[in-house]
Structure 1
Amino acid sequence: MKTGKTGLELIKKYEGFYSKPYLDPIGIPTIGYGATYYPNKVKVTMKDKPLTGKEASELLVQMLKVYENQVALLVTKPINQNQFDALVSFTYNLGATNFGKSTLLKKINVNPNDPTIRQEFEKWNRAGGIVLNGLTKRRKDEAALYFS
């Protein structure tokens, strides 16, 4: 599966576009639509050259392949496009390690339609131990997409 248009728009909405490198809420150099590294595995630095909108979109699509593959490997039950898109957004934001050890994944792998999955998304709203409104909204939107 590949991320659909709805999933891509959700990720772009919450990551936002930044042409120049910036420090994310926990101090990690980031560029474009939330990229912390490039397809060649080189980490973003604060000295990297700015990206155009087109370059950032292309980088996002390239980077999503990694997260799409991770979701496909970790989820053992059949899921639909909206569920896949929501999980790719979640994994892009939090990483496959966090997704892989989450109760969210455990519940999906038992029953992808379990209504308590919504609450599992919403638990992941902190960065550096601090609840962030943007993450709270993102998790609600991911859960809504997952169940749409």
Structure 2
Amino acid sequence: MSEVARTLGAAGKGLIQKWEGCAKKRKDGRFDAYPDPGSADGKPWTIGWGSTGADVKKGVIWTQAQCDARFDVDIQRYVREVATFLGTAPTSQAQFDALVSFHYNTGAIRSATLGQLHRAGRFDDAAAQFPRWNQNDGKVMDGLKARRADEAALYISSMPVAVRHPLPIATTDVRVVNAASGLNVRSKPSASATRLGALKRGTPVTVLHDAGDWVRFIYQGNEAWVNDQFLTPS
């Protein structure tokens, strides 16, 4: 798929900086690096506008100018990755900005069902995927819930007309159960369907078909369904 030249709009930059914040400001006006507040091990260490990398670790201090300059450099990579993934798929500026914000936070534009649904022209279904990305290290985070709501609102504010296509799922699409208490296996894609069993956290699931909210896979030799909300890409 060919790539279309795209740039991040003002709405996208504003949304990203709103939620990343330029955090841990010191009394002297500079900024300290800090551990990820939602992960069990504090990784990755972060500074400024959500910047991470080998050079960002405990004890690192940057000026505002350094934070701003690093953001300007880092964001180009995320813009490029999203543009490459989307190719020529019909995408409004608002949608592109929302997807870049999502990718900047999750790094999952290639693996997320959200991205695949967008490329297939299933914009309503794609928008419904944003709320599913509300966890960090298996825990629902209020900040992520609010950020996803902002991204979804921006995404649906301008949606082009597109021909819908079947959602392509590779045979090697493997996802992992992220629910701490386990994940119920159902006979049909519905929470009211017969419960066939449960999968423990960390169990890999090879997806045969992605229906948006539910995915079909083989369980004990038979086809079954689990809710995609509790799966993450492996």
- Asked if Structure 1 and Structure 2 have the same fold, meaning a TM-score greater than 0.5 normalized by the shorter chain, the answer is yes
2:78 is the alignment partner of 1:67? yes
CA distance in 1, matches of 2:101, 2:129: 14
Match of 2:13 in 1: 8
Which AA in structure 1 matches 2:102? Answer: F
Q: Which runs of 5+ in 1 are unaligned?
A: none
Residue 141 of structure 2 is aligned with which of 121, 132, 137? 132
Deviation sequence 1:95-143 (CA, Å, 0-9, x none): 1xx221111011101105x212221111000000000000000001001
Deviation sequence 1:35-84 (CA, Å, 0-9, x none): 112xxxx3411122x22223212211110010001001111302111111
Which AA in structure 2 matches 1:57? Answer: D
* Higher strand proportion (structure 1 or 2): 2
* Higher helix proportion (structure 1 or 2): 1
SS at match of 2:146: helix
Residue 32 of structure 1 is aligned with which of 42, 48, 52? 48
Task: Please say which structure displays the higher CA radius of gyration.
Answer: 2
Deviation sequence 1:15-36 (CA, Å, 0-9, x none): 1112210011211210001011
Which AA in structure 2 matches 1:9? Answer: G
2:107 is the alignment partner of 1:102? no
Moved over 3 A (4+): none
Residue 100 of structure 2 is aligned with which of 55, 77, 88? 88
Q: Which has the higher contact order (CA 8 A, sep 6+)?
A: 1
CA distance in 2, matches of 1:85, 1:56: 21
The percentage of aligned residue pairs carrying the same residue is 36
TM-score normalised to structure 2 length: 0.57
CA contact (8 A) 2:90 2:121 kept: no
TM-score normalised to structure 1 length: 0.89
SS at match of 1:141: helix
Residue 21 of structure 1 is aligned with which of 27, 30, 33? 33
Q: Which runs of 5+ in 2 are unaligned?
A: 1-5, 24-30, 158-234
SS at match of 1:10: helix
Aligned length: 140
SS at match of 2:56: coil
